[in-house]
Structure 1
Amino acid sequence: MAEDGQPLRGKVALITGAARRIGRATALSLARSGASIVINARSSAAEIEKVADEVRALGAGAMTHLADVTDEEAVAAMFEAVDARFGRLDVLVNNAADRREAPLTEMSFADWRAITGTILDGAFLCARSALPLMVRSGGGVVINIGGMTGHTGAYNRAHVCTAKAGLVGLTKAIAVEFAGRGITANCVVPGKIGGERARSAGAGGSVPGTGQPIVGREGHPEEVAEMVRTLAVPTGRFITGQTIHVSGGMYFP
Protein backbone atom coordinates (compact mmCIF):
# COMPACT_ATOMS: atom_id res chain seq x y z
CA MET A 1 0.00 0.00 0.00
CA ALA A 2 1.22 3.45 -0.86
CA GLU A 3 2.44 5.53 2.06
CA ASP A 4 -0.18 8.18 1.35
CA GLY A 5 -3.00 5.65 1.59
CA GLN A 6 -3.58 5.48 -2.16
CA PRO A 7 -2.87 1.85 -3.04
CA LEU A 8 -4.29 2.29 -6.56
CA ARG A 9 -2.13 5.25 -7.51
CA GLY A 10 -1.07 4.90 -11.13
CA LYS A 11 -3.85 2.38 -11.84
CA VAL A 12 -6.87 2.82 -14.11
CA ALA A 13 -10.38 1.55 -13.35
CA LEU A 14 -13.41 1.41 -15.63
CA ILE A 15 -16.90 1.19 -14.16
CA THR A 16 -19.91 0.51 -16.34
CA GLY A 17 -23.27 1.96 -15.38
CA ALA A 18 -21.50 4.52 -13.21
CA ALA A 19 -23.90 7.45 -13.42
CA ARG A 20 -25.49 6.87 -10.04
CA ARG A 21 -25.84 4.73 -6.93
CA ILE A 22 -23.40 1.80 -6.70
CA GLY A 23 -21.55 2.75 -9.87
CA ARG A 24 -21.01 6.33 -8.75
CA ALA A 25 -20.03 5.28 -5.21
CA THR A 26 -17.53 2.81 -6.63
CA ALA A 27 -16.00 5.45 -8.89
CA LEU A 28 -15.48 7.76 -5.94
CA SER A 29 -14.12 5.01 -3.67
CA LEU A 30 -11.54 3.87 -6.22
CA ALA A 31 -10.62 7.50 -6.94
CA ARG A 32 -9.94 8.08 -3.23
CA SER A 33 -7.58 5.11 -3.44
CA GLY A 34 -5.66 6.87 -6.20
CA ALA A 35 -7.00 5.28 -9.39
CA SER A 36 -7.87 7.20 -12.52
CA ILE A 37 -11.50 6.46 -13.34
CA VAL A 38 -13.28 5.78 -16.62
CA ILE A 39 -16.99 6.43 -16.08
CA ASN A 40 -19.35 4.69 -18.45
CA ALA A 41 -23.08 4.97 -19.06
CA ARG A 42 -25.34 4.18 -21.98
CA SER A 43 -26.94 7.62 -22.31
CA SER A 44 -26.63 9.63 -19.07
CA ALA A 45 -24.06 12.11 -20.38
CA ALA A 46 -24.77 14.91 -17.92
CA GLU A 47 -24.78 12.55 -14.94
CA ILE A 48 -21.46 10.89 -15.71
CA GLU A 49 -19.87 14.29 -16.26
CA LYS A 50 -20.98 15.22 -12.73
CA VAL A 51 -19.39 12.03 -11.42
CA ALA A 52 -16.22 12.88 -13.34
CA ASP A 53 -16.16 16.30 -11.68
CA GLU A 54 -16.48 14.60 -8.27
CA VAL A 55 -13.61 12.27 -9.14
CA ARG A 56 -11.40 15.18 -10.23
CA ALA A 57 -12.24 17.02 -7.02
CA LEU A 58 -10.63 14.09 -5.19
CA GLY A 59 -7.44 14.65 -7.16
CA ALA A 60 -7.87 11.65 -9.46
CA GLY A 61 -7.94 11.51 -13.24
CA ALA A 62 -11.32 11.02 -14.90
CA MET A 63 -12.63 10.12 -18.33
CA THR A 64 -16.24 9.68 -19.42
CA HIS A 65 -17.40 7.44 -22.24
CA LEU A 66 -20.94 6.80 -23.43
CA ALA A 67 -21.35 3.27 -24.77
CA ASP A 68 -24.09 0.66 -24.80
CA VAL A 69 -22.41 -2.42 -23.32
CA THR A 70 -24.59 -4.67 -25.50
CA ASP A 71 -23.06 -3.17 -28.65
CA GLU A 72 -19.95 -5.15 -29.55
CA GLU A 73 -18.40 -2.42 -31.67
CA ALA A 74 -19.17 0.30 -29.11
CA VAL A 75 -17.54 -1.72 -26.34
CA ALA A 76 -14.42 -2.34 -28.42
CA ALA A 77 -14.22 1.37 -29.23
CA MET A 78 -14.54 2.28 -25.54
CA PHE A 79 -11.58 0.14 -24.54
CA GLU A 80 -9.55 1.44 -27.47
CA ALA A 81 -10.25 4.95 -26.18
CA VAL A 82 -9.13 3.95 -22.68
CA ASP A 83 -5.92 2.48 -24.09
CA ALA A 84 -5.27 5.62 -26.12
CA ARG A 85 -5.84 7.86 -23.09
CA PHE A 86 -4.13 5.91 -20.32
CA GLY A 87 -2.17 3.12 -22.00
CA ARG A 88 -3.36 0.58 -19.46
CA LEU A 89 -6.34 -0.85 -17.57
CA ASP A 90 -6.15 -2.42 -14.13
CA VAL A 91 -9.69 -2.70 -12.78
CA LEU A 92 -12.99 -3.47 -14.52
CA VAL A 93 -16.26 -3.22 -12.61
CA ASN A 94 -19.19 -4.64 -14.56
CA ASN A 95 -22.06 -2.79 -12.94
CA ALA A 96 -24.37 -1.97 -15.87
CA ALA A 97 -27.80 -3.54 -15.43
CA ASP A 98 -31.41 -3.20 -16.46
CA ARG A 99 -34.51 -4.35 -14.60
CA ARG A 100 -38.00 -5.02 -15.86
CA GLU A 101 -40.77 -7.22 -14.52
CA ALA A 102 -43.13 -9.62 -16.26
CA PRO A 103 -44.47 -13.11 -15.56
CA LEU A 104 -42.38 -15.69 -17.39
CA THR A 105 -45.23 -16.80 -19.64
CA GLU A 106 -45.92 -13.19 -20.63
CA MET A 107 -42.29 -12.14 -21.04
CA SER A 108 -41.35 -11.19 -24.58
CA PHE A 109 -38.19 -12.59 -26.07
CA ALA A 110 -37.14 -8.99 -26.78
CA ASP A 111 -37.38 -8.15 -23.06
CA TRP A 112 -35.48 -11.34 -22.17
CA ARG A 113 -32.70 -10.43 -24.59
CA ALA A 114 -32.60 -6.81 -23.44
CA ILE A 115 -32.07 -7.73 -19.79
CA THR A 116 -29.71 -10.65 -20.28
CA GLY A 117 -27.88 -8.61 -22.91
CA THR A 118 -27.15 -5.68 -20.63
CA ILE A 119 -26.21 -7.71 -17.55
CA LEU A 120 -24.51 -10.81 -18.90
CA ASP A 121 -23.55 -10.13 -22.52
CA GLY A 122 -22.30 -6.69 -21.49
CA ALA A 123 -20.08 -8.17 -18.80
CA PHE A 124 -18.68 -10.68 -21.31
CA LEU A 125 -17.98 -8.04 -23.97
CA CYS A 126 -16.31 -5.70 -21.48
CA ALA A 127 -14.23 -8.48 -19.93
CA ARG A 128 -13.16 -9.73 -23.35
CA SER A 129 -11.84 -6.27 -24.25
CA ALA A 130 -10.40 -5.52 -20.81
CA LEU A 131 -8.45 -8.70 -20.17
CA PRO A 132 -5.80 -8.22 -22.89
CA LEU A 133 -5.10 -4.73 -21.52
CA MET A 134 -4.75 -6.16 -18.02
CA VAL A 135 -2.41 -8.90 -19.21
CA ARG A 136 -0.28 -6.25 -20.91
CA SER A 137 -0.31 -4.17 -17.71
CA GLY A 138 0.94 -7.12 -15.67
CA GLY A 139 -2.32 -8.09 -13.98
CA GLY A 140 -5.68 -6.74 -12.99
CA VAL A 141 -9.02 -7.14 -11.30
CA VAL A 142 -12.46 -7.96 -12.70
CA ILE A 143 -15.41 -7.38 -10.39
CA ASN A 144 -18.93 -8.28 -11.48
CA ILE A 145 -21.84 -6.74 -9.59
CA GLY A 146 -24.28 -9.58 -9.11
CA GLY A 147 -27.78 -9.70 -7.67
CA MET A 148 -29.34 -11.62 -4.84
CA THR A 149 -32.21 -12.80 -7.03
CA GLY A 150 -29.66 -14.80 -8.97
CA HIS A 151 -29.35 -16.93 -5.83
CA THR A 152 -32.90 -16.83 -4.46
CA GLY A 153 -35.11 -16.47 -7.52
CA ALA A 154 -37.83 -13.83 -7.73
CA TYR A 155 -41.32 -13.33 -9.03
CA ASN A 156 -41.56 -11.84 -12.53
CA ARG A 157 -37.80 -11.52 -12.98
CA ALA A 158 -36.69 -14.69 -14.72
CA HIS A 159 -34.46 -12.67 -17.05
CA VAL A 160 -32.75 -10.79 -14.22
CA CYS A 161 -32.33 -13.95 -12.11
CA THR A 162 -30.80 -15.82 -15.02
CA ALA A 163 -28.43 -13.04 -16.02
CA LYS A 164 -27.23 -12.40 -12.47
CA ALA A 165 -26.68 -16.13 -11.90
CA GLY A 166 -24.71 -16.22 -15.12
CA LEU A 167 -22.34 -13.59 -13.75
CA VAL A 168 -21.27 -16.07 -11.07
CA GLY A 169 -20.24 -18.57 -13.74
CA LEU A 170 -18.46 -15.91 -15.77
CA THR A 171 -16.60 -14.81 -12.64
CA LYS A 172 -15.34 -18.32 -11.95
CA ALA A 173 -14.34 -18.86 -15.57
CA ILE A 174 -12.26 -15.66 -15.63
CA ALA A 175 -10.70 -16.47 -12.26
CA VAL A 176 -9.54 -19.89 -13.45
CA GLU A 177 -8.44 -18.90 -16.95
CA PHE A 178 -6.48 -15.81 -15.95
CA ALA A 179 -5.09 -16.64 -12.51
CA GLY A 180 -1.70 -17.41 -14.00
CA ARG A 181 -1.56 -13.96 -15.55
CA GLY A 182 -2.04 -12.00 -12.36
CA ILE A 183 -5.75 -11.36 -12.77
CA THR A 184 -8.40 -11.95 -10.12
CA ALA A 185 -12.16 -12.05 -10.62
CA ASN A 186 -14.92 -11.85 -8.03
CA CYS A 187 -18.65 -11.23 -7.89
CA VAL A 188 -20.08 -8.76 -5.35
CA VAL A 189 -23.76 -9.26 -4.62
CA PRO A 190 -25.64 -6.33 -3.05
CA GLY A 191 -28.71 -6.87 -0.93
CA LYS A 192 -31.32 -4.16 -0.40
CA ILE A 193 -29.52 -0.91 -1.09
CA GLY A 194 -31.12 2.42 -0.32
CA GLY A 195 -30.99 5.31 2.09
CA GLU A 196 -33.87 4.39 4.31
CA ARG A 197 -33.87 2.08 7.28
CA ALA A 198 -35.57 -1.23 6.50
CA ARG A 199 -38.36 -2.60 8.65
CA SER A 200 -37.24 -5.55 10.71
CA ALA A 201 -39.19 -8.37 12.32
CA GLY A 202 -38.63 -7.90 16.02
CA ALA A 203 -35.59 -6.55 17.79
CA GLY A 204 -33.20 -8.97 16.16
CA GLY A 205 -34.24 -8.36 12.56
CA SER A 206 -35.55 -10.84 10.01
CA VAL A 207 -34.57 -14.41 9.32
CA PRO A 208 -32.47 -14.75 6.14
CA GLY A 209 -34.71 -15.26 3.12
CA THR A 210 -37.70 -13.32 4.45
CA GLY A 211 -36.86 -10.18 2.49
CA GLN A 212 -35.23 -7.92 5.10
CA PRO A 213 -31.61 -7.56 6.27
CA ILE A 214 -31.12 -9.03 9.74
CA VAL A 215 -29.09 -5.95 10.70
CA GLY A 216 -32.34 -3.98 10.64
CA ARG A 217 -31.65 -1.53 7.85
CA GLU A 218 -31.03 -1.26 4.15
CA GLY A 219 -27.50 -0.85 2.89
CA HIS A 220 -25.85 2.15 1.29
CA PRO A 221 -24.13 2.25 -2.10
CA GLU A 222 -20.91 3.20 -0.34
CA GLU A 223 -20.93 -0.09 1.58
CA VAL A 224 -21.00 -2.07 -1.66
CA ALA A 225 -18.31 0.21 -3.10
CA GLU A 226 -16.10 -0.50 -0.10
CA MET A 227 -16.19 -4.21 -0.84
CA VAL A 228 -15.28 -3.50 -4.47
CA ARG A 229 -12.36 -1.37 -3.29
CA THR A 230 -11.22 -4.10 -0.90
CA LEU A 231 -11.04 -6.57 -3.77
CA ALA A 232 -9.33 -4.09 -6.11
CA VAL A 233 -6.42 -3.02 -3.91
CA PRO A 234 -3.23 -5.12 -3.63
CA THR A 235 -4.15 -6.52 -0.21
CA GLY A 236 -7.28 -8.09 -1.72
CA ARG A 237 -5.53 -9.93 -4.49
CA PHE A 238 -5.46 -13.32 -2.73
CA ILE A 239 -9.25 -13.47 -3.17
CA THR A 240 -10.50 -14.78 -6.51
CA GLY A 241 -13.40 -16.74 -7.94
CA GLN A 242 -15.62 -15.78 -5.01
CA THR A 243 -19.19 -14.55 -4.72
CA ILE A 244 -19.38 -12.11 -1.82
CA HIS A 245 -22.74 -10.99 -0.46
CA VAL A 246 -23.05 -7.46 0.91
CA SER A 247 -26.58 -7.76 2.24
CA GLY A 248 -26.69 -7.18 5.98
CA GLY A 249 -27.41 -10.86 6.49
CA MET A 250 -30.41 -10.81 4.14
CA TYR A 251 -29.07 -13.92 2.43
CA PHE A 252 -26.77 -16.65 3.75
CA PRO A 253 -25.01 -18.71 1.01
Structure 2
Amino acid sequence: MTSAQVNSGVALVTGASRNIGRAIALRLAGLGYDIAVHVGKDLASGEETAAEIRALNRRAEVFSADLSDPASCKALVSNALSAFGRLDVLVNNAAVRPESPFEEITLAEWRQVMALALDAPFFVSQAAVAPLSRSPVASIVHIGGLTGHTGAQHRAHVITAKAGLIGLTKAMAHDLAAKAIRVNCVVPGLIETARVGGHAAQPAHHAKTANLLGYRGGADDVAGAVAYLCAPENRYLTGQTLHVNGGAYLP
Protein backbone atom coordinates (compact mmCIF):
# COMPACT_ATOMS: atom_id res chain seq x y z
CA MET A 1 0.00 0.00 0.00
CA THR A 2 1.32 3.45 -0.86
CA SER A 3 0.07 6.81 0.28
CA ALA A 4 0.88 10.32 -0.89
CA GLN A 5 2.50 12.91 1.34
CA VAL A 6 0.08 15.41 2.87
CA ASN A 7 0.98 19.10 2.84
CA SER A 8 0.14 19.48 6.50
CA GLY A 9 -2.17 17.97 9.06
CA VAL A 10 -2.53 16.74 12.62
CA ALA A 11 -3.29 13.20 13.75
CA LEU A 12 -4.26 12.06 17.25
CA VAL A 13 -3.28 8.46 17.98
CA THR A 14 -4.46 6.88 21.22
CA GLY A 15 -2.28 4.28 22.88
CA ALA A 16 0.74 5.51 20.93
CA SER A 17 3.45 4.71 23.46
CA ARG A 18 4.50 1.36 21.97
CA ASN A 19 3.85 -1.42 19.47
CA ILE A 20 1.04 -0.84 16.97
CA GLY A 21 0.17 2.61 18.28
CA ARG A 22 3.75 3.82 17.97
CA ALA A 23 4.08 2.34 14.49
CA ILE A 24 0.89 4.11 13.39
CA ALA A 25 2.10 7.43 14.80
CA LEU A 26 5.44 7.11 12.99
CA ARG A 27 3.85 6.07 9.70
CA LEU A 28 1.47 9.05 9.77
CA ALA A 29 4.37 11.35 10.67
CA GLY A 30 6.20 9.98 7.64
CA LEU A 31 3.23 11.04 5.52
CA GLY A 32 3.52 14.61 6.81
CA TYR A 33 1.23 14.68 9.83
CA ASP A 34 2.13 16.25 13.15
CA ILE A 35 1.16 13.84 15.91
CA ALA A 36 -0.71 14.17 19.19
CA VAL A 37 0.67 11.16 21.09
CA HIS A 38 -1.76 9.79 23.67
CA VAL A 39 -0.57 7.63 26.55
CA GLY A 40 -2.32 6.28 29.61
CA LYS A 41 0.36 6.62 32.28
CA ASP A 42 3.63 5.74 30.55
CA LEU A 43 4.85 9.22 29.74
CA ALA A 44 8.43 8.00 29.26
CA SER A 45 7.43 5.65 26.44
CA GLY A 46 5.24 8.36 24.96
CA GLU A 47 8.23 10.70 24.88
CA GLU A 48 10.22 7.99 23.08
CA THR A 49 7.53 7.91 20.41
CA ALA A 50 7.55 11.70 20.23
CA ALA A 51 11.34 11.77 19.84
CA GLU A 52 11.14 9.40 16.88
CA ILE A 53 8.45 11.57 15.29
CA ARG A 54 10.55 14.71 15.75
CA ALA A 55 13.46 12.92 14.09
CA LEU A 56 11.20 12.77 11.01
CA ASN A 57 10.94 16.59 11.15
CA ARG A 58 7.36 16.53 12.36
CA ARG A 59 5.97 18.06 15.51
CA ALA A 60 4.87 15.78 18.36
CA GLU A 61 3.27 16.44 21.74
CA VAL A 62 2.48 13.85 24.42
CA PHE A 63 -0.85 13.85 26.26
CA SER A 64 -1.75 11.60 29.19
CA ALA A 65 -5.42 10.74 29.62
CA ASP A 66 -7.46 8.03 31.32
CA LEU A 67 -9.73 6.91 28.50
CA SER A 68 -11.98 4.98 30.87
CA ASP A 69 -13.23 8.42 31.98
CA PRO A 70 -15.51 10.18 29.44
CA ALA A 71 -14.40 13.60 30.70
CA SER A 72 -10.76 12.68 30.10
CA CYS A 73 -11.62 11.58 26.56
CA LYS A 74 -13.07 15.00 25.83
CA ALA A 75 -10.16 16.75 27.54
CA LEU A 76 -7.69 14.81 25.40
CA VAL A 77 -9.17 16.19 22.20
CA SER A 78 -9.44 19.67 23.68
CA ASN A 79 -5.79 19.63 24.78
CA ALA A 80 -4.63 18.38 21.39
CA LEU A 81 -6.56 21.19 19.71
CA SER A 82 -5.06 23.77 22.06
CA ALA A 83 -1.59 22.53 21.19
CA PHE A 84 -1.97 22.10 17.42
CA GLY A 85 -4.95 24.25 16.44
CA ARG A 86 -6.52 21.61 14.19
CA LEU A 87 -7.31 17.92 13.86
CA ASP A 88 -7.42 15.91 10.64
CA VAL A 89 -7.04 12.27 11.64
CA LEU A 90 -8.07 10.29 14.72
CA VAL A 91 -6.85 6.74 15.32
CA ASN A 92 -8.56 4.93 18.20
CA ASN A 93 -5.95 2.31 19.05
CA ALA A 94 -5.86 2.16 22.86
CA ALA A 95 -7.35 -0.98 24.41
CA VAL A 96 -6.73 -3.74 26.91
CA ARG A 97 -6.91 -7.44 26.06
CA PRO A 98 -6.98 -9.56 29.23
CA GLU A 99 -7.77 -13.27 29.22
CA SER A 100 -10.03 -15.01 31.75
CA PRO A 101 -12.40 -17.99 31.68
CA PHE A 102 -15.93 -16.77 31.02
CA GLU A 103 -17.27 -17.71 34.45
CA GLU A 104 -14.41 -15.88 36.20
CA ILE A 105 -14.78 -12.48 34.51
CA THR A 106 -15.85 -9.95 37.13
CA LEU A 107 -18.12 -6.99 36.52
CA ALA A 108 -15.17 -4.66 37.12
CA GLU A 109 -13.06 -6.49 34.52
CA TRP A 110 -15.94 -6.48 32.03
CA ARG A 111 -16.50 -2.77 32.46
CA GLN A 112 -12.80 -1.94 32.22
CA VAL A 113 -12.50 -3.66 28.84
CA MET A 114 -15.69 -2.04 27.54
CA ALA A 115 -14.60 1.37 28.78
CA LEU A 116 -11.26 1.31 26.99
CA ALA A 117 -11.99 -0.76 23.89
CA LEU A 118 -15.50 0.45 22.99
CA ASP A 119 -16.63 3.41 25.09
CA ALA A 120 -13.40 5.39 24.62
CA PRO A 121 -13.53 5.29 20.79
CA PHE A 122 -17.10 6.57 21.04
CA PHE A 123 -16.29 9.43 23.43
CA VAL A 124 -13.01 10.49 21.79
CA SER A 125 -14.61 10.39 18.34
CA GLN A 126 -17.62 12.35 19.54
CA ALA A 127 -15.36 15.07 20.91
CA ALA A 128 -13.39 15.11 17.66
CA VAL A 129 -16.35 15.58 15.29
CA ALA A 130 -16.34 19.39 15.40
CA PRO A 131 -12.63 19.91 14.58
CA LEU A 132 -12.59 17.05 12.07
CA SER A 133 -15.54 18.58 10.23
CA ARG A 134 -13.30 21.56 9.46
CA SER A 135 -10.62 19.40 7.86
CA PRO A 136 -10.51 18.69 4.10
CA VAL A 137 -9.04 15.21 4.76
CA ALA A 138 -10.93 14.12 7.88
CA SER A 139 -10.57 10.45 8.78
CA ILE A 140 -11.26 8.27 11.82
CA VAL A 141 -9.78 4.79 12.06
CA HIS A 142 -10.68 2.33 14.81
CA ILE A 143 -8.35 -0.56 15.57
CA GLY A 144 -10.36 -3.75 15.91
CA GLY A 145 -9.38 -7.29 16.81
CA LEU A 146 -9.35 -10.62 14.96
CA THR A 147 -11.19 -12.46 17.73
CA GLY A 148 -14.06 -10.03 17.40
CA HIS A 149 -14.75 -11.91 14.14
CA THR A 150 -13.54 -15.44 14.87
CA GLY A 151 -14.17 -15.79 18.59
CA ALA A 152 -11.68 -17.33 21.02
CA GLN A 153 -11.53 -18.83 24.48
CA HIS A 154 -11.19 -16.70 27.61
CA ARG A 155 -11.86 -13.40 25.86
CA ALA A 156 -15.61 -12.85 26.14
CA HIS A 157 -15.18 -9.21 27.20
CA VAL A 158 -12.57 -8.38 24.54
CA ILE A 159 -14.48 -10.16 21.76
CA THR A 160 -17.70 -8.37 22.66
CA ALA A 161 -16.01 -4.97 22.68
CA LYS A 162 -14.18 -5.51 19.39
CA ALA A 163 -17.32 -6.84 17.69
CA GLY A 164 -19.15 -3.75 18.89
CA LEU A 165 -16.43 -1.58 17.37
CA ILE A 166 -17.37 -2.87 13.91
CA GLY A 167 -20.95 -1.78 14.47
CA LEU A 168 -19.76 1.59 15.73
CA THR A 169 -17.67 2.02 12.58
CA LYS A 170 -20.69 1.47 10.34
CA ALA A 171 -22.94 3.71 12.41
CA MET A 172 -20.42 6.54 12.47
CA ALA A 173 -19.80 6.24 8.74
CA HIS A 174 -23.52 6.83 8.17
CA ASP A 175 -23.80 9.70 10.64
CA LEU A 176 -20.60 11.54 9.73
CA ALA A 177 -20.63 11.23 5.94
CA ALA A 178 -22.51 14.50 5.60
CA LYS A 179 -19.65 16.19 7.46
CA ALA A 180 -17.11 14.62 5.06
CA ILE A 181 -15.58 12.57 7.89
CA ARG A 182 -14.65 9.08 6.78
CA VAL A 183 -14.75 6.26 9.35
CA ASN A 184 -13.09 2.88 8.89
CA CYS A 185 -11.70 0.02 10.95
CA VAL A 186 -8.41 -1.89 10.69
CA VAL A 187 -8.44 -5.36 12.24
CA PRO A 188 -4.99 -6.76 13.07
CA GLY A 189 -4.47 -10.48 13.50
CA LEU A 190 -1.41 -12.58 14.38
CA ILE A 191 0.81 -9.54 14.90
CA GLU A 192 4.06 -9.88 16.84
CA THR A 193 4.23 -7.23 19.55
CA ALA A 194 6.02 -6.83 22.86
CA ARG A 195 3.58 -7.48 25.69
CA VAL A 196 3.00 -4.80 28.33
CA GLY A 197 5.61 -5.01 31.06
CA GLY A 198 8.07 -6.74 28.75
CA HIS A 199 6.35 -10.13 28.85
CA ALA A 200 6.99 -12.13 25.70
CA ALA A 201 3.98 -14.44 25.99
CA GLN A 202 1.47 -14.13 23.16
CA PRO A 203 -2.30 -14.53 23.68
CA ALA A 204 -3.32 -18.17 24.07
CA HIS A 205 -5.49 -18.15 20.94
CA HIS A 206 -2.45 -17.32 18.78
CA ALA A 207 -1.10 -20.84 19.33
CA LYS A 208 -4.26 -22.29 17.80
CA THR A 209 -4.44 -19.97 14.79
CA ALA A 210 -2.50 -20.21 11.53
CA ASN A 211 -2.54 -18.04 8.44
CA LEU A 212 -2.00 -18.53 4.73
CA LEU A 213 1.29 -16.66 4.57
CA GLY A 214 2.86 -18.75 7.33
CA TYR A 215 4.35 -15.98 9.44
CA ARG A 216 3.31 -13.33 11.95
CA GLY A 217 2.91 -9.76 10.83
CA GLY A 218 4.47 -6.73 12.44
CA ALA A 219 3.18 -3.45 13.78
CA ASP A 220 4.31 -1.75 10.57
CA ASP A 221 1.89 -3.91 8.59
CA VAL A 222 -1.00 -2.52 10.62
CA ALA A 223 0.37 1.01 10.37
CA GLY A 224 0.48 0.70 6.59
CA ALA A 225 -3.20 -0.20 6.48
CA VAL A 226 -4.09 2.78 8.67
CA ALA A 227 -2.05 5.12 6.48
CA TYR A 228 -3.81 3.75 3.40
CA LEU A 229 -7.24 4.50 4.86
CA CYS A 230 -6.20 7.99 5.98
CA ALA A 231 -4.60 8.98 2.68
CA PRO A 232 -6.46 11.74 0.83
CA GLU A 233 -6.35 9.77 -2.43
CA ASN A 234 -8.45 7.06 -0.75
CA ARG A 235 -11.25 9.43 0.21
CA TYR A 236 -13.90 7.17 -1.37
CA LEU A 237 -13.47 4.59 1.43
CA THR A 238 -15.76 4.77 4.44
CA GLY A 239 -17.58 2.30 6.67
CA GLN A 240 -15.08 -0.42 5.72
CA THR A 241 -13.25 -3.05 7.76
CA LEU A 242 -9.75 -3.88 6.54
CA HIS A 243 -8.26 -7.13 7.86
CA VAL A 244 -4.48 -7.40 8.27
CA ASN A 245 -3.81 -11.01 9.28
CA GLY A 246 -1.88 -12.84 6.58
CA GLY A 247 -4.96 -14.81 5.62
CA ALA A 248 -5.85 -16.13 9.08
CA TYR A 249 -9.43 -14.99 8.51
CA LEU A 250 -11.12 -14.41 5.17
CA PRO A 251 -14.37 -12.43 5.57
TM-score with structure 1 length normalisation?
0.90
- CA contact 2:4–2:231 (8 Å) conserved in 1: no
Distance 1:183 1:170, change over 3 A: same
Residue in 2 that maps onto 1:177: 175
Asked if 1:165 corresponds to 2:126, the answer is no
Q: Secondary structure at the match of 1:137?
A: coil
**2:222 equivalent among 210, 221, 224:** 224
- CA contact 2:5–2:31 (8 Å) conserved in 1: yes
Asked if 1:246 corresponds to 2:244, the answer is yes
The whole-number CA distance in structure 1 between the counterparts of 2:55 and 2:214 is: 34
TM superposition shift of 1:101: 1.3
Asked if 1:62 corresponds to 2:60, the answer is yes
Asked if 1:52 corresponds to 2:66, the answer is no
Residues 59-98 of structure 1 aligned to structure 2 (within 5 Å):
59-98=57-96
Could you say what the CA RMSD is over the residues aligned between the two structures, in angstroms? 1.6
The whole-number CA distance in structure 2 between the counterparts of 1:36 and 1:194 is: 26
Summarize deviations over 1:149-193 as a string: whole Å, max 9, x none. 000111010000000001101101111111121111111000111
TM superposition shift of 1:83: 1.4
Residue in 1 that maps onto 2:35: 37
Q: Give the letter aligned to residue 84 of structure 1.
A: S
Question: Structure 1: which 5+ runs fail to align?
Answer: 197-209
TM superposition shift of 1:17: 0.5
Residues 101-250 of structure 1 aligned to structure 2 (within 5 Å):
101-138=99-136, 140-194=138-192, 211-250=209-248
Distance 1:147 1:195, change over 3 A: closer
Summarize deviations over 1:119-157 as a string: whole Å, max 9, x none. 001111110111111013345101000001000111010
TM-score with structure 2 length normalisation?
0.91
TM superposition shift of 1:8: 2.6
TM superposition shift of 1:212: 1.1
- CA contact 1:213–1:248 (8 Å) conserved in 2: yes
The whole-number CA distance in structure 2 between the counterparts of 1:14 and 1:73 is: 17
Residue in 2 that maps onto 1:206: none
Find runs of 4+ consecutive structure 1 residues off by over 4 angstroms: none
Q: Higher relative contact order by CA 8 Å / sep ≥ 6: 1 or 2? A: 2
Query: Which has the larger Rg?
Result: 1
Q: Give the letter aligned to residue 172 of structure 1.
A: K
Tell me the matched-pair count: 237
Question: Structure 2: which 5+ runs fail to align?
Answer: 195-207
Q: Secondary structure at the match of 1:136?
A: coil
The whole-number CA distance in structure 2 between the counterparts of 1:103 and 1:9 is: 49
